[in-house]
């Protein structure tokens, strides 16, 4: 993923100062735009499923990739 830190920072920045409802709407617009960019409906449905399935993963669970140390 190129520009990952830029993207993450931009997402956080876009939500800054928004109330809860405004944030929900920003996310919703973004999700629909991204879904369109993905293009393939099956792939979008799989990603929704993946996001839903991982909702119980605790924040401090080990993640794939290398850790510092």
Judged by beta carbon, residue 17 or residue 65, the one nearer other proteins is 17
Positions in 27-56 near other proteins (CB under 8 A):
27-29, 31-33, 36
Residue 40 CB, nearest approach to other proteins (Å): 13
Q: Tokens 């629909």 label which residue?
A: 32
Phi-psi region of 17 (alpha: psi -120 to 50; beta: other; left: phi over 0): left
Q: Closer CB to other proteins, residue 7 or residue 32?
A: 32
Helices 20-38, 41-53: inter-axial angle, 10-degree rounding: 140
Nearer to other proteins, 12 or 33 (CB): 33
User: Which residue blocks in the chain are alpha helix, DSSP H?
Assistant: 4-15, 20-38, 41-53
Does residue 59 bind other proteins (CB under 8 A)? no
């Amino acid at each position: 993923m190129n520009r990952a830190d830029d993207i993450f920072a931009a997402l956080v920045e876009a939500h800054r100062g928004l109330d809860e409802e405004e944030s929900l709407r920003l996310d919703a617009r973004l999700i629909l735009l991204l879904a369109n960019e993905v293009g393939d409906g099956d792939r979008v449905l799989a990603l929704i499923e993946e996001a839903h399935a991982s909702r119980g993963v605790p924040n401090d669970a080990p993640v794939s990739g290398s850790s510092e140390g």
